[in-house]
């Protein structure tokens, strides 16, 4: 059988930057818990995205959790959250015993619909926070969403887990809200094997997050704790991988963009296939290339997934919306159309292999398999 083609897998630098930083950590015995790599990774990522401060954490989920804690989200509070996302966006709301209210998507970006957000504010005038996602690396209508949040004096948290390096009007995603989060999970555009980052212009807020993330240990000779803390800090080894990966981020964005463009070109003669739109004033990082099939398409998303699977090629359905998930049954969902856009995208969408280690020939094979289904 041919080599497996992955949806998105870790891709270390050809130059071996990651190994250099890990070697330094071993040579200095700064393996864990913290050290120079953690400090430098925070500084280097802050500089890349253009924001004051960052806290390197164990995951993007931990970053969202501590962002909500920093905003004093607690039991009885409502937090608005997009429905079309991975569950890690919504779970931390429940960690804080708060109540998620899910917001539908709009078709221009597939992200949170500003009109549905306005409707949610009419129904729930005083949410504690709004979480927005930049789905598959495509920026949301972030200016409009922030304008709505500012009008209602509600803080915005950006889940930019999938969109590191993507920009809206040349400004990095993750830097518009009160807090922004990035993920370095194994499938992301750069990876630390696992890990995340919380960023903000609020340096005091980031200092507090670092404190909570290291078990809320007070600066005393003995172990003193006045607050509940978490074991959420990134290790020095993991941060070393991140520093090396950050050096090739721009290259990875270029490769992901080339993959997207090749799919676009490959499917231009198939009327039933549409790729995720590129909104005006945005530069997506194209973390995943995602297609939708028109309603009257003779081919189904499942048939595409199964045809690729037979050839040892990985693909996935679009995220199943949170309002359709059994675990979130009973939570409110706000939409503006009769049929949910998020549900429609889930039912008609397929995430195609977007691995930066995939060769041109391998991508051509993916395109050919899909095109043959339409013959």
Residue 125 has pLDDT above 70, yes or no: yes
Chain position carrying tokens 């409707």: 119
- 168 in any annotated domain: yes
Domain coverage including residue 136: 17-246
Average pLDDT over residues 228-236: 96
Residue 143 has pLDDT above 90, yes or no: yes
Residue 142 has pLDDT above 70, yes or no: yes
Regarding whether 317 and 200 lie in a shared domain, the answer is no
- 33 in any annotated domain: yes
Q: Which of 188, 218, 246 is the last residue of a domain?
A: 246
C-alpha–C-alpha distance, residues 41 and 52, integer Å:
13
- 307 in any annotated domain: yes
Write the DSSP symbol of residue 81. Answer: E
Residue 25 has pLDDT above 70, yes or no: yes
- 235 in any annotated domain: yes
287-303 per-position pLDDT tens digit: 999 999 999 899 999 99
Regarding whether 212 and 269 lie in a shared domain, the answer is no
Instruction: Give the pLDDT score at 32.
Output: 74
Q: Where are the alpha helices (DSSP H) in the chain?
A: 17-27, 36-49, 60-70, 87-95, 114-123, 142-151, 203-213, 236-246, 249-266, 301-310, 341-348, 360-373
145-166 per-position pLDDT tens digit: 999 999 999 999 999 999 999 9
Dihedral of the alpha carbons of 198, 177, 106, 6, in degrees to the nearest 10: -20
User: What's the CATH number where 282 sits?
Assistant: 3.90.1150.10
Q: Which of 246, 271, 295 is the last residue of a domain?
A: 246
Let me know how many helices (H) and strands (E) the chain has, helices first.
Answer: 12, 15
Structure tokens at 157: 């948290």
- 9 in any annotated domain: no
Instruction: Give the pLDDT score at 2.
Output: 77
From the list 151, 160, 156, the residue with the least C-alpha distance to 70 is 156
Burial 346-363 (b: 16+ CB within 10 A, else e): bbbbbbbbbbbebeeebb
Regarding whether 179 and 91 lie in a shared domain, the answer is yes
- 1 in any annotated domain: no
Average pLDDT over residues 175-185: 98
C-alpha–C-alpha distance, residues 364 and 374, integer Å:
16
Write the DSSP symbol of residue 233. Answer: B
Regarding whether 35 and 107 lie in a shared domain, the answer is yes
pTM here?
0.97
Instruction: Give the pLDDT score at 127.
Output: 98
Regarding whether 366 and 222 lie in a shared domain, the answer is no
Residue 153: is it exposed, middle or buried by C-beta count within 10 angstroms (0-12/13-18/19+)? exposed
Average pLDDT over residues 248-258: 98
- 129 in any annotated domain: yes
C-beta neighbour count of 50 within 10 angstroms: 12
Regarding whether 237 and 158 lie in a shared domain, the answer is yes
Task: Say how many domains are in the chain.
Answer: 2
308-366 per-position pLDDT tens digit: 999 999 999 999 999 999 999 999 999 999 999 999 999 999 999 999 999 999 999 99
Confidence bin at 31 (pLDDT 50/70/90): confident
Phi-psi region of 202 (alpha: psi -120 to 50; beta: other; left: phi over 0): beta
Instruction: Give the pLDDT score at 1.
Output: 60
C-alpha–C-alpha distance, residues 339 and 297, integer Å:
19
Average pLDDT over residues 112-125: 98
């Amino acid at each position: 059988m041919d080599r497996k083609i992955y949806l998105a897998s870790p891709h270390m630098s050809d130059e071996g930057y990651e190994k250099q930083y890990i070697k330094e950590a071993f040579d200095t015995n700064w393996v864990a818990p913290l050290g120079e790599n953690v400090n430098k990774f925070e500084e280097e990522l802050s500089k890349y995205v253009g924001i004051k401060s960052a806290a390197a954490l164990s995951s993007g989920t931990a970053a969202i959790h501590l962002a909500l804690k920093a905003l004093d989200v607690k039991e009885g509070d409502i937090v608005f959250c997009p429905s079309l996302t991975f569950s890690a966006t919504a779970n931390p709301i429940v960690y804080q015993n708060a109540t998620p209210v899910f917001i539908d998507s709009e078709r221009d970006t597939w992200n949170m619909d500003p009109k549905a957000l306005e409707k949610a504010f009419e129904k729930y005038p005083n949410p504690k926070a709004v979480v927005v996602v930049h789905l598959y690396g495509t920026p949301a209508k972030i200016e409009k969403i922030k304008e709505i949040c500012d009008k209602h004096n509600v803080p915005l948290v950006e889940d930019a887990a999938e969109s590191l390096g993507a920009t809206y009007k040349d400004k990095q995603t993750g830097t518009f809200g009160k807090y922004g989060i990035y993920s370095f999970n194994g499938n992301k555009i750069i990876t630390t094997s696992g890990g995340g980052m919380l960023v903000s212009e609020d340096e005091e807020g980031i200092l507090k997050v670092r404190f909570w993330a290291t078990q809320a240990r007070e600066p005393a000779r003995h172990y003193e704790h006045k607050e509940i803390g978490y074991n959420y800090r990134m290790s020095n080894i993991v941060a070393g991988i991140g520093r090396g990966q950050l050096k090739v981020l721009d290259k990875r964005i270029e490769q992901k963009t080339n993959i997207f463009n090749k799919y676009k070109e490959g499917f231009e003669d198939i009327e039933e296939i549409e790729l995720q739109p590129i909104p005006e004033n945005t530069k997506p990082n194209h973390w995943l290339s995602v297609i939708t099939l028109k309603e009257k398409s003779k081919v189904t998303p499942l048939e595409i997934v199964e045809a690729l699977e037979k050839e040892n090629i990985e693909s996935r359905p679009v995220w199943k919306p949170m309002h359709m998930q059994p675990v979130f049954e009973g939570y409110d969902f706000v939409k503006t159309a009769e049929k949910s856009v998020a549900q429609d995208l889930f039912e008609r969408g397929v995430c195609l292999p977007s691995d930066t280690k995939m060769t041109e020939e391998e991508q051509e094979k993916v395109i050919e398999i899909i095109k043959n289904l339409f013959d």
